[in-house]
Amino acid sequence: MLTVQGGDPTITFEWKVTYGTISPLGVPVKGILINGQFPGPNINSTTNNNVIVNVFNNLDEPFLLTWSGVHHRKNPWQDGVLGTNCPIPPGRITPINSSRLLIPVPYADPANDYTLIAGDFFNKGYTSLKKVLESGRNLGRCDGVHINGKVAKGDGNDEPLFTMEAGKTYKYRICNAGIKTTMSETPSPTSEITSNPENFSGSDAPSDSSGLTITCHRLNGNNFLEGSCEGNLVIKDPEDLSPVNAPIDSPVVPMTNSPTPTLNTLPENTPTPIDSLQKTPSPKQLRVYTRKRRHIPETVLQSDSCRELDLGPAAEMEEEISHTMKLVEMEGSHTVQNDYESLDVHVGQCFSVLVTANQEPKDYFVVASTRFTKREVIATGVIRYNNGKGAPSPKLPPPPVSWAWSFNQFRTFRWNLTASAARPNPQGSYKYGSINITRTIKLANTAHKVDGKLRYALNGVSYVEPTTPLKLAEYYNVADKVFKYDNIPDDPPAEITKVTMEPIVLNMTHRNFIEIIFENRETAIQSYHLDGYSFFAVAIETGKWSPEKRKNYNLLDAVSRHTIQVFPKSWAAILLTFDNCGIWNIRSEVWDRHYLGQQLYASVVSPNKSLNDEYNMPDGALVCGVVESMPRPPPPYT
């Protein structure tokens, strides 16, 4: 008898977690490395592979890995956050299993794909940063910015981050892995944002920013690929955020519902990259082109494209021959493939773009620089054409100004309704706009002092990590000993004057369609992430949300994604079906806010205790807290 067994291939990775010395900004500090690398290694897998990652904790402290953007369908046990998992103790190994589904892509295979990770950096060890937070302060100003853990010196001896061959197209996966960025002391020459009236700075600042926002691949006129990062937007008066009075360069484009689009086109009456972005004087600096100089009269410099530069009676101006940057993916979704001159990527977000190497073969810079800060902080790296000749120009133009530039751009992002999704059906076959909302939850972020120490809260409660993971408490039927369900109101009061500290868990009904409003009551840009799910980012607007605002939602082709930014004194609305059972983290992507309480969990329980909805606790799963000495319960899911 001949027996043949088939199945999808399994690939295994071993990740050894160790301490090591890193120095992205030239100052040696103690860091955590994976296989000796900072940033850590990529996982390169093929469609339908099953992926196993064996994590070896060689630290002298517990360790966890979370997987931003991986849904872990029916399997919260792999999420790697303190609400679901016990940390890996020193000297232990734990396996993490996942798989990658067949997802056809709506574009030709690129010649190569590159990962670009940018982030702000602090020249202190992580233990020192932890002590700062636990002392009741935020982290203050970052010391600099890195790109893939490096900063080019610009002396002509820098090794390239990436190489491109003329005539070929490349895919850049760009992620903002910053912690945060705060105000600098010197006003940025391009910023029109007013200072905080209380003039806080550094670690005494009462609020922080959403971290680095990368204007990814600003392909621009000094022969470089440029990114920028976003810092703190501080406004003196909430009225300054109105479209009329805001310190911006262009009006905020209103969101409109729109008819069905065709591939690669935006719907009718929808703000397009041309309609909305070219109204802002920023795009001229957001391209790669070969520098050519010519003298121009002063009158020409009054035009929109020159940003009213005060250059005197005659000046030099670059003539553009630009690369194009085609947005194709955003956090697991295929997007309408529009060409952009710049992409703002807020902290925790990831985009993918296609760039064709169709310009003069030479070196170009990729630049990450802070946005909305008093003082611009930048990092550079080199992208090289094969067999190219010529160094990149050392002169770097400023990033775009104003939050409205980024605000308007959000409204141009559209879901590609005809592209394949994770399932065989096209993305647009899911008509989320026709589903009735069963519950509306408004989450308002605020900052407080508790016993003299800084805490961040949602709806008046600052999250505290229990010693027992929430998921374990549910599984062992001892949830009442660890946390309370629905301990924050769905609609917070207009004024939140006091804060309590405890775990926050929202009890979600399986498969209910939920509306979540993130209301930013502070003067710092927020960024939120939801584990285990993607949601439809249907609206971002200034002011306060009300039910009447639903008429402005994009109910047709909002992008399905897992992070969302919220501008100061503004709100953002998301829609989703809670159909993935487990306990899932909703958190601020600004890590000192997350650490100091700006997070919660959503519990989704299978009503039928079915394995079709959720897996049982895996064999070998770590246990801790109040359940450590308890016998494991019989598997509840069948």
Q: What is the pLDDT of residues 542-578, one digit of tens each?
A: 999 999 999 999 999 999 999 999 999 999 999 999 9
Looking at residue 402, its pLDDT comes to: 77
- Please write the tens of the pLDDT for every residue from 312-351: 222 222 333 356 789 999 999 999 999 987 778 888 999 9
pLDDT band for position 215 (50/70/90)? very low
SS3 of residue 529 by DSSP? strand
Question: What is the enclosing helix (H) or strand (E) of 11?
Answer: strand 10-22
Distances (CA, A) of 355 to 216, 224, 264, 389: 12, 13, 16, 20
Looking at residue 280, its pLDDT comes to: 31
Of the listed ranges 275-284, 410-419, 434-443, 597-606, the one predicted with least confidence: 275-284
Which two three-digit tokens encode residue 406?
């980024």
- Please write the tens of the pLDDT for every residue from 349-407: 999 999 999 988 998 888 777 777 677 788 888 999 999 988 887 777 666 777 888 88
Looking at residue 345, its pLDDT comes to: 80
Which position has the higher pLDDT, 151 or 455?
455
Looking at residue 300, its pLDDT comes to: 24
Nearest to 466 by CA among 592, 622, 588, 627: 627
CA distance 397 to 120: 20
Q: List the CATH code of the domain at 10-99.
A: 2.60.40.420
CA distance 545 to 494: 12
Which two three-digit tokens encode residue 500?
């309590």
Contact assessment for residue 127 and residue 135, using Cβ atoms and an 8 Å cutoff: no
* Predicted TM-score (pTM) of this structure: 0.81
Q: Please state whether beta strands 599-604 and 505-508 pair in parallel, antiparallel, or not at all (unpaired).
A: parallel
93-105 per-residue burial string, b: 16 or more CB within 10 A, e: under 16: ebebebebeeeee
Q: What percent of the chain has pLDDT over 70?
A: 74
Looking at residue 398, its pLDDT comes to: 63
Contact assessment for residue 369 and residue 229, using Cβ atoms and an 8 Å cutoff: yes
Which position has the higher pLDDT, 447 or 264?
447
Q: List the CATH code of the domain at 112-292+321-410.
A: 2.60.40.420
Residue entry with tokens 């994604």: 561
Residue 595 is classified by DSSP as H
Looking at residue 489, its pLDDT comes to: 98
- Please write the tens of the pLDDT for every residue from 396-436: 766 677 788 888 989 999 999 999 876 678 999 999 999 99
Which position has the higher pLDDT, 11 or 455?
455
Architecture of the structural domain at 431-627: Sandwich (2.60)
Sign, Cα dihedral of 252, 253, 255, 261? negative
Average pLDDT over residues 168-172: 96
Residue 118 has pLDDT above 60, yes or no: yes
Contact assessment for residue 626 and residue 82, using Cβ atoms and an 8 Å cutoff: no
Q: Please state whether beta strands 563-566 and 526-530 pair in parallel, antiparallel, or not at all (unpaired).
A: antiparallel
CA-angle at 533, arms to 407 and 467, nearest 5°: 110
CA distance 516 to 458: 13
Looking at residue 154, its pLDDT comes to: 82
Average pLDDT over residues 292-298: 29
Contact assessment for residue 512 and residue 562, using Cβ atoms and an 8 Å cutoff: no
CA distance 285 to 314: 20
Q: Output the average pLDDT for the chain.
A: 78
CA distance 165 to 361: 8
User: Looking at the chain, which residues constitute the CATH 2.60.40.420 domain(s)?
Assistant: 10-99, 112-292+321-410, 431-627
Distances (CA, A) of 277 to 299, 344, 346, 538, 572: 24, 12, 17, 19, 20
Residue 303 has pLDDT above 50, yes or no: no
Looking at residue 186, its pLDDT comes to: 19
Contact assessment for residue 230 and residue 181, using Cβ atoms and an 8 Å cutoff: yes
Nearest to 78 by CA among 417, 424, 531, 613: 531
